Amino acid sequence: MSDKTYAPPQARLATASDVQRPFYVVSKTKFMTLFMLTFGLYLLYWAYKNWQQFKQASGQPMWPIARAIFMLFYTHALYREANTLIKKNGRRHDWLPWDLASQFVVILLISHGLDGMSNRHPDNLWLDIASVALLPIQALVTFKGQRGLNAAAGDPQGESNARFTPINYVFMALGATLWCTMLYSMATTVN
């Protein structure tokens, strides 16, 4: 007979990588860099990852891809879920999720409106400039919401996702190339 027969059972402790976070966590530097260098296209990935992780953590049936594509209609719900989780876990995070989601939606609508007008009037440089000038404002407003998502996931600073991955560098290089091309085009149009 084995001496281990009467030994207490050994539990396998979960590592940080085993724990499923309920929301996508990202640091400010990584978020802002990817947002700006991809001209805001990072938002699609951001919304998808948030809903995908929420679906896995909560078990609720949903289509994360659809919620990402229609983020305009689902951002209030995303922030509300994060706020509910913050309160449920006895944490505190000073944010106004409804207001931040509303600001996100308004800026997204303005951005799409400017892009649409720019496409209809390609010779109007001012529409392009306004669209580019709105990008950092949109990034800051979105990151304020991300801070709430980070808090709900138990990582307020986003330290668990602060490092850039090889795929991040690929998109950053493509984005930097696009930025250079766009700025060169704008500069030559002005002259």
pLDDT of residue 81: 97
Interior/surface letters 70-108, b for 16+ CB within 10 angstroms, e for the rest: ebeebbbebbebbbebbeeeeeebebebeebbebbbebb
pLDDT tens, position by position, 69-93: 999 999 999 999 999 999 999 888 9
pLDDT digits (tens, 9 = 90+) for 11-30: 554 444 445 899 999 999 99
**pLDDT tens-digit readout, 103-129:** 999 999 999 999 889 889 888 888 888
pLDDT band at 56 (very low <50, low <70, confident <90, very high): very high
Contact in structure between 155 and 146 (CB atoms under 8 Å) = no
3-state secondary structure string, 96-124? Answer: CHHHHHHHHHHHHHHHHHHHHHHHHCCCC
pLDDT: is 56 or 4 the higher one? Answer: 56
Burial of 20-39, coded b for 16+ CB within 10 Å and e otherwise, reads: ebbbbbbbbebbbbbbbbbb
What's the pLDDT score for residue 14?
Answer: 43
What is the pLDDT of the chain when averaged over all its residues?
Answer: 89
Q: Over range 33-39, report the average pLDDT.
A: 94
The two structure tokens encoding residue 124: 């109007």
pLDDT mean over 137-141: 96
**Lowest-pLDDT range, 62-66, 93-97, 123-127?**
123-127
Overall residue count recorded for the chain in this entry = 191
Does residue 152 surpass a pLDDT of 50? yes
